[in-house]
Amino acid sequence: MLRIGVDLGGTKIEVVVLDGEGKELFRKRIPTPREYIATLDAIESLVNEAESTLAQKGSVGVGIPGVISPFSGLVKNANSTWINDQPLDIDLGERLGREVRVANDANCFAVSEAVDGAAAGKGVVFGVIIGTGCGAGVAINGKVHGGGNGIGGEWGHNPLPWMTMDEFNTTSCFCGNQDCIETFISGTGFVRDFKAAGGNADSGIEIASLMKSGDMLAKAAFDRYIDRLARSLAHVINILDPDVIVLGGGISNIEAIYPMLPELLSKYVLGNECHTPVVQNIYGGSSGVRGAAWLW
């Protein structure tokens, strides 16, 4: 059976079709309309085009930057605000004539990497996306663990663990709280911290490049960053103890993270022992849309 995945992002909608073995058969992306009915039209059109091209129908999964509330049945927490408070899965299902499964895009990332990516074959996978923002998802035996409230994996909106005095009450998050993990370890937070210390860069990758060339401000900013990342992930290990952590997003491309992080994790994990693998994703920007296809 064909599996159709749709990644509904703030700027683009992408569709991919996988066969039963995970081989990609079709892919297309279009700009995202910033209006609900137009978004439904766009997704319906992409699915119809894919099925027409391949002359087969398939299951449909959709990854969104939010979740379907298990209580109201409506989208919540989406930064693509025009889909909030809408029954997206029901409306798409009626248009396409079949059940449509919808999950958070970070959960889709975790599922993709758990099924046939960097965490293939692992039971409990914590998938982290660190880019402009910071999100995470949980996959258990290759399936989304959304949780009873539909917010499983929303790790970025917990406070930074083990805060120092100079970190406390220093950041504000769009969610309304202060000192969220996202405000420190997102690419945005990394750049903010570097600039506050007198540096000049527009991305975490640029700071890492400056560090490699010997820039001491960049090295100090990275040391702060990797320590904050270790604290944040140690918190997850102390609660969930996943079999593997997979990093995605732009920050995951900083090579220096991978040799440095294991030693720092052991410093913060209970008992000072930690052998949890932290690995880079395999599918990059395609992982979310592939994970949407694997929702079935």
Segment 162-195, tens digit of pLDDT: 999 999 999 999 888 999 999 999 999 999 999 9
Q: What average pLDDT does the segment 198-207 reach? A: 96
Give tens-digit pLDDT for 69-107. Answer: 999 999 998 888 999 999 999 999 999 999 999 999 999
- Do 46 and 53 meet the contact criterion of CB atoms below 8 Å apart? no
Kindly state whether residues 99 and 123 are assigned to the same domain. no
Furthest-apart CA atoms within the chain: distance in Å: 61
Compute and round to an integer the Cα radius of gyration of the chain.
19
Kindly state whether residues 127 and 77 are assigned to the same domain. no
CA dihedral 30, 35, 37, 43 (to 10 degrees): 20
Cα distance between residue 43 and residue 24, in whole Å = 18
Give tens-digit pLDDT for 3-60. Answer: 999 999 888 999 999 999 999 999 999 999 999 999 999 999 999 999 999 999 999 9
Give tens-digit pLDDT for 114-130. Answer: 999 999 999 999 999 99
Kindly state whether residues 77 and 210 are assigned to the same domain. no
pLDDT attached to residue 264: 96
Kindly state whether residues 105 and 77 are assigned to the same domain. yes
- Do 222 and 209 meet the contact criterion of CB atoms below 8 Å apart? no
CATH number of the CATH domain containing 241 = 3.30.420.40
pTM (two decimals): 0.93
Kindly state whether residues 52 and 149 are assigned to the same domain. no
pLDDT attached to residue 77: 87
256 — pLDDT class (breaks 50, 70, 90): very high
Cα distance between residue 159 and residue 172, in whole Å = 11
Kindly state whether residues 138 and 211 are assigned to the same domain. yes
Kindly state whether residues 198 and 168 are assigned to the same domain. yes
Number of domains in the chain: 2
Query: What DSSP string describes 98-165?
Result: S-EEEEEHHHHHHHHHHHHSTTTT-SEEEEEEESSSEEEEEEETTEE---TTS-TT-GGGSBPTT--T
- The residue segments making up the domain with residue 59 are 2-110+288-292
